[in-house]
Amino acid sequence: MAKFELKLPKMGESVAEATITNWLKNVGDHIDADETVLEIATDKVDSEVPSEVEGTLVEILFQVDDVVQVGQTIAIIETEGGAAAPAPTKASAPAEAKVVAETVAVAQETVSASVDFSDSDKFFSPLVKNIAKEEGISVAELEAIAGTGKDGRVTKNDILDYVKNRGNQPQQVAAKVEAPKAAAPASTATKAAPVSVNGADEIVEMDRMRKLISGYMVKSVQTSAHVQSFIEVDVTNIVNWRNKVKNSFEKREGEKLTFTPIFMEAVAKALKDFPGMNISVEGDYIIKKKNINLGMAAALPNGNLIVPVIKNADQLNLVGMAKAVNDLGNRAKAGKLKPDDTQGSTYTVTNVGTFGSVFGTPIINQPEVGILALGAIRKVPAVIETPEGDFIGIRQKMFLSHSYDHRVVDGALGGQFVQRVAQILEAFDPNREV
């Protein structure tokens, strides 16, 4: 018999941990190769962990709701045949038991160290939180660090300096860690479920994804100074062109041609013209993104929201964009997105017009600095200018609603960017070949 360590696999370049949501196998169950053993969830998507080998599950090291780091051993599977390890002798059994006990202890210690920084009333950037998690810094310790950033925020240099000098102040750290223990009962009491007064109201706890979305939205509003610009766009040429080519396109490419890839193409072009919108903010620093990765907000069947990402969108032609949009949209609805599919966006687009909304005021997807909402396309009377004079005609029009972060994007840039998107759409060639 040989023992195989089932580890949490790498799920994407920026995914460092996951939460165990469900064990599909119990200790003693037989597992086939490639059979799913457990279900996990990252901060964006749910996923499954299959076994690489066939064998029997003999030990589970983490329980449901535990947070596990990528590469950590989460279970032990006993395999048959092959390069089997020699059976332990009676003398070595206690030693092996001690090793297993130490492994479990380390695993449990790691779980307890994976703290939820959303419990803090203070704002910490994703980079600072990642460093804190890697260094095993608790919420209490992080809150006690004197920040030198704006409004006293803890910067990257602040936390690195703290880690560097951490060993010189063990007693102080211990005192800081002890404080939350006494406050735990009060914290638990404030999170008690509400009670229906009349007995007729139904009280439903948010699911995991809705809690995450709720946290993201509140933090975004608290972080960014949201400003909106609106512009009306004549998309008559686009509507007529799509109606003309959509059937032949689907027959040739095997893909439906919606309006979304056309709009995504225009946004990618505008970002190349205005790279100041393709940035993110980290404390007092602006990060200029080299790649243009477009987030595409998508509604899920259960009413939740997810934002899959079209990587290097500016390098795709319209056919490639249509395939990417359809692929991500279909996998999002089917719950088949991989963690990496939702990582790395530099600018986000949301289609509020799907449900008939004319325009909206979308909330920025942090740490980006802008998000564009596409309104419903409507037939409206409009003034048409011609060399022979002006006249009234029926045109297909829509509104673009641009929310941007006024901390780093002023009205001129925010307005010019959405104006450029409108110009690209209105200049669409009705004779375009695809």
Which residues neighbour 7 within 8 Å (Cβ) at sequence distance 6 or greater?
71, 72, 73, 74
Q: In angstroms, what CA-CA distances link 216 with 2, 211, 220, 293, 408?
A: 44, 9, 6, 20, 20
Query: Could you tell me the end-to-end alpha-carbon distance of the chain, in angstroms, rounded to an integer?
Result: 59
Q: In angstroms, what CA-CA distances link 157 with 115, 283, 367?
A: 21, 11, 19
Q: What are phi and psi of 207, to 5 degrees?
A: -75, 175
Q: What are phi and psi of 368, to 5 degrees?
A: -70, 175
Q: What are phi and psi of 42, to 5 degrees?
A: -95, -170
d(CA 168, CA 191): 37
Which residues neighbour 72 within 8 Å (Cβ) at sequence distance 6 or greater?
7, 8, 107, 110
Cβ atoms of 420 and 429 closer than 8 Å: no
DSSP 411: H
**Among candidate residues 5, 145, 136, the one with its CA nearest the CA of residue 74:** 5
Catalytic-labelled residue, pool 116, 207, 284, 410: 410
Q: In angstroms, what CA-CA distances link 18 with 8, 71, 134, 136?
A: 8, 11, 14, 16
Alpha carbon 96 to its chain centroid, in Å, reads 41
User: Buried b / exposed e across 147-178, counting CB within 10 Å, b at 16+?
Assistant: bebeeebbbbebbeebbeeeeeeeeebeebee
Give the residue ranges of DSSP H helices in 224-338: 236-253, 260-273, 318-333
**In the annotation, is 284 catalytic?**
no
Catalytic-labelled residue, pool 29, 30, 207, 406: 406
- The DSSP annotation for 18-81 comes to EEEEEESS-TT-EE-TT-EEEEEE-SS-EEEEE-SS-EEEEEE---TT-EEETT-EEEEEEE-S
**In the annotation, is 226 catalytic?**
no
* Tokens 């089997």 -> residue: 84
d(CA 357, CA 373): 10
Cβ atoms of 361 and 403 closer than 8 Å: yes
**Among candidate residues 226, 208, 228, 227, the one with its CA nearest the CA of residue 218:** 226
Active site residues: 406, 410
